Chain A
Amino acid sequence: MLFNSFQFFVFFPIVTLAFFVLPHRYRWIWLLVASCYFYMVFVPAYILILFFTIGVDYAVGILIENAEGRRKRLLLVASILGNIGVLGFFKYFNFVQMNLAGMAAALDWNYPIQLLNIALPLGLSFHTFRSLSYTIEVYRGNFQAERHLGLFALYVMFYPELVAGPIERPQNLLPQLRERHEFDYERVTDGLKLMAWGFFKKLVIADRLADFVNPIYNQPAAYPGVALALATILFAYQIYCDFSGYTDIATGAAQVMGFKLMRNFQRPYFAISIADFWRRWHISLSTWFRDYLYVPLGGNRVPKWRWQLNLFITFLVSGLWHGANWTFVAWGALHGLYLLLSIWTSGIRMRMSRVLGIDSSLDLLRPLQVVATFSLVSFAWIFFRASTIQDAFLIIQHIFSPSGYSGTIGETLLTYLNMSKVGIVSIMILSIAELAQARASLRVMVRSQPAWLRWAAYYVLVMSILLLGKFSDQRFIYFQF
């Protein structure tokens, strides 16, 4: 089920109302049934995959807790193999096959390529990672194995975060599933407002921008550099609003019922460096890779060259997690390279800013850092969005070629800006809101306003969504992961 669907519009109030009406001891059953239904709207049979990973990790968690030494490690390996195996099979089998076939063809070998005609189960990458974090935390002794199968299943399948995160840690969510949550007017209305804001980002900004970006990126050879450059910048906001919008809806829906999910975005396009960007973007994933890949590889507690290699590998794998395509690997590699370059050039950059006299002027330095970081991130998005590596390089070539800006560039730019005006105006509203958030939480700011102004804001927000939003069941970008 998509959040931006009529079905969810009916599903959410029914599930939430029943949640508050039911006695506490039955609520977990209701939420579990609702989550199963939520998932089965996509492809019903795929729930068996979820049941498989839940079953394996529930059993493994208990066994790990009672085991020691080698047996304990073997159980963890079993859980990792089970989860990664499922992920690998559904997500990467065809990718591996096609690459092997390509290599064989290059070597003039006969490789009878066998591709599977299977649809990727939605949210597979998210719930397997959620499940894995559970077994790893139990292995590390940071969390006690959950004995209640129903609650564990609900931890993995909790519908707000089921298909696109945040990737919750067991320490955060599982205890909350046991707590009694009562109706609280302030908390519920805050949750609803967060959902409305999420819908605004998704339906008004992301989906309107997609109308502009998709035709250009689907046929990049047909567009001049100025259009490709604009599409790239707008895609940066499309993916941010799409994903953070989804997260806001998920977080708001959970909050309405009294569950607090982890923050997944922290104004990423105000980052002052690539490292800072990754502290603000898809935080649940970046911290997952930090805790379960980067740190086990040695993190930064190893020789310098090894530390930097660990960083690069982590970003490579992160890129691959996003999709079975070399473009995602290239995107991850580029971010890894950015980080390495920032480490290698940190001394030079500090000296340069001292020489230019901007090191002591935050008012000047910070905007420059934000613009530079945004530019680097947007450049990397080219690989993320392009259909193939060849397309990505073609887009880069067109963007940086002077011929892409010849002729009446002003007029051309105005034409393309006009085509995307709803999205652009909405981006400006979003940016103003996020700038304001630097001083105080948006919710606190809104709550401190007089009632008539608050109601006017709610009215304008809802009417904007209804009159300017795109209601075409457009999937969330991160659903494909």
Chain B
Amino acid sequence: MIKLLGRICLLSGMVAISWLLVIVLANSQSNSGSKGYLAGIIDKHRLLGETSPPRIILVGGSNLALGLDSGMVHREMSTNVVNMGVNAGVGLKFMLNEVRSALRSGDTVIIIPEYEQFYGYRNGGTTLVETLSIYPEGIRYLDSADQWLMVVSQFPGYAQGLFLRFFKGFGTANGFAINRSSYNEYGDITAHLDQPSRVKVADLGLSRPGKLDFDDEAVSILNEFARFARTREAKFLLIFPPLPAAQYDINREQIEYAYARIKGEAEFAVLGSPRDYLFPTSYFFDTVYHLNRQGRAARTEKLIDALKTVH
């Protein structure tokens, strides 16, 4: 048995060194690692620390980074705005934990979660592992066994994604680079705004056919954060993400079910409904959550109108 364990350790060592090599080489690319899109998280945390309250803190995935004009929100609401949105793949829990310690009296946290957060992604995926590899301080935002299990179990998927992208190139899939330097002073991305729409509308795959795999725990996490926000004399509210109307039609059942559950169980304000943020497909850029210039403006106006009802 000692001989076998020795051989397993030797093979594991060879594999681990190879993996590390892949990760180091991949992260040295110009649109990857500490220079890539996900590295925006580093600057957003600095922005959050440097922006004085009261603030509107936007929490969510890339629907915020590539779909909101935070400058317009700042001007219309006369409040500082910090856009913390990077990628939904870090999971609902992580993105809420990111802002927890920075919350101050008078702040308003607006969560705009992609629908996947309610259908299996609350603990994130490989993007969380990649984010932590770029921003190791983010480990302090892992506070549950589920999240740790996710990180450990997704590590092979992360290394794999890096390996495949290493050969295909990073951040040029859209014909232009989106990287860390693409974020503006609020944390928005604008490089894509005038690009032609190439979004493909297809089933989001939220649930297995005929099933509604809604994650009961997701609403509990939101409620817990709402209670925490109240202890800090901060507001917490939820708004639904933008979506092509055609996309909504495909996933209507799951989206409406999520809406009904959130509305029925929320201990915080839910502004509007999913149908309030449906737009023509031509308003979207490359995914069903990323908006072009026209879409971004329309969505931001709706959001501001909703915010004015509570501010």
Whole-angstrom distance between the Cβ of A242 and the nearest chain B Cβ: 17
Q: Does B154 have its Cβ within 8 Å of any Cβ on chain A?
A: yes
Picked from A189, A458, A467, the residue with its CB within 8 Å of the CB of B159 is A467
Q: Does A20 have its Cβ within 8 Å of any Cβ on chain B?
A: yes
A residues in contact with B18, CB < 8 Å: 463
B residues in contact with A215, CB < 8 Å: 202
Contact stretch, chosen from A72-80, A274-282, A347-355, A468-476: A468-476
CA distance A188 to B1 in the complex (A): 9
Are B19 and A185 in contact, with the CB atoms below 8 A?
no
Are B11 and A471 in contact, with the CB atoms below 8 A?
no
Are A469 and B160 in contact, with the CB atoms below 8 A?
yes
Whole-angstrom distance between the Cβ of A353 and the nearest chain B Cβ: 46
Picked from B7, B19, B160, the residue with its CB within 8 Å of the CB of A471 is B160
B residues in contact with A5, CB < 8 Å: 153
Picked from A183, A468, A469, the residue with its CB within 8 Å of the CB of B1 is A183
The chain A residue sitting closest to B125, CB to CB, is: A472
A151-188: CB near B (< 8 Å → 1, else 0) gives 00000000000000000000000000000000101001
CA distance A467 to B166 in the complex (A): 12
CA distance A462 to B3 in the complex (A): 19
Whole-angstrom distance between the Cβ of B54 and the nearest chain A Cβ: 42
Are B1 and A471 in contact, with the CB atoms below 8 A?
no
Picked from B11, B149, B156, the residue with its CB within 8 Å of the CB of A469 is B156
Beta-carbon contacts under 8 Å, B2-30 to A: 3-4, 7, 11, 14-15, 18-19, 22
Are A463 and B15 in contact, with the CB atoms below 8 A?
yes
Are A459 and B15 in contact, with the CB atoms below 8 A?
yes
CA distance A444 to B15 in the complex (A): 25
B149-180: CB near A (< 8 Å → 1, else 0) gives 10011101101100110000000000000000
Q: Does A433 have its Cβ within 8 Å of any Cβ on chain B?
A: no
CA distance A6 to B156 in the complex (A): 10
Given A459-B11, A462-B11, A466-B15, verify A185-B3 contact (CB < 8 Å): yes
Are B149 and A6 in contact, with the CB atoms below 8 A?
yes
Whole-angstrom distance between the Cβ of B287 and the nearest chain A Cβ: 17
CA distance A285 to B1 in the complex (A): 36
Whole-angstrom distance between the Cβ of B15 and the nearest chain A Cβ: 6
Tell me the count of chain A residues lying within 8 A, CB to CB, of chain B: 19
Are B149 and A466 in contact, with the CB atoms below 8 A?
no
CA distance A357 to B202 in the complex (A): 54
Given A185-B3, A185-B4, A463-B18, verify A472-B157 contact (CB < 8 Å): yes
CA distance A135 to B1 in the complex (A): 39
Are A458 and B1 in contact, with the CB atoms below 8 A?
no
Of listed A188, A459, A462, A466, residue having the most chain B CB within 10 A: A466
Beta-carbon contacts under 8 Å, B125-149 to A: 149
Are B4 and A471 in contact, with the CB atoms below 8 A?
no
A79-103: CB near B (< 8 Å → 1, else 0) gives 0000000000000000000000000
Given A466-B160, A467-B160, verify A20-B1 contact (CB < 8 Å): yes
**6 extra interface residue pairs, beta carbon distance < 8 Å, beyond A459-B15, A471-B154:** A6-B149, A183-B1, A185-B3, A455-B11, A458-B11, A471-B157
- Using CB atoms and an 8 Å cutoff, list the residues of chain B in contact with chain A: 1, 3-4, 7, 11, 14-15, 18-19, 22, 149, 152-154, 156-157, 159-160, 163-164, 202
Query: 13 A–B contact pairs at CB < 8 A?
Result: A5-B153, A6-B153, A183-B1, A185-B3, A185-B4, A189-B4, A458-B11, A467-B22, A469-B156, A469-B160, A471-B154, A471-B156, A471-B157
- Closest 8 A-B residue pairs measured CB to CB? A6-B153, A471-B157, A467-B163, A471-B156, A467-B160, A466-B156, A183-B1, A462-B15
